[in-house]
Amino acid sequence: MATTTATAIFGAGCFWGVEAFFEQIEGVVSTRVGYSGGLLENPTYEQVKAGNTGHAEVIKIEFDPTVISYIELLNKLFEIHDPTTLNRQGIDIGHQYRSAIFYTDEDQKIEAEGKITALKEQAVYKLPIVTEVRPASTFYDAEEYHQKYFQKNGSAACGI
């Protein structure tokens, strides 16, 4: 019997570190890094990095919801990045490194907004949460050399 997977798309700064983190989680079937949320079709890394396309560096996660839930993935997302810094994660500065959740259906939207509300009510962060929650738009795969970057290169400068 084939397992049905679901998709999560998150922006949390440099996609290399975000992918390295999420690909180790049980229930994550596959990951791809890429670009989403911008206006230019088929953007390149150089275009996104320059900040002219409106895209965020994102990770697309295919996961098995019978092993890990979307809300558990959201919990992990908020563990690994600072959702209070606008257009910045660590040394990575620019709207392409923004904190973002691109939901694929209404349930994901409700869960994402609920998670943010809960974090605010619990006063987990001293500063306001600036994570954007918006519908998933076209996901463009990053160039192949960005996929599994840490596995291929050992390490790199990255805010995560």
Catalytic residue IDs: 14
Q: Is the sign of the CA dihedral 148, 151, 155, 160 positive or negative?
A: positive
CA–CA dist 10, 113 (Å, integer): 14
Token pair belonging to 125: 């962060």
**In the chain, where do the E strands start and end?**
6-12, 28-36, 56-63, 88-89, 92-93, 99-103, 132-135, 140-141
37 touches 11 (CB < 8 A): yes
Q: Cα 75 from chain centroid?
A: 12
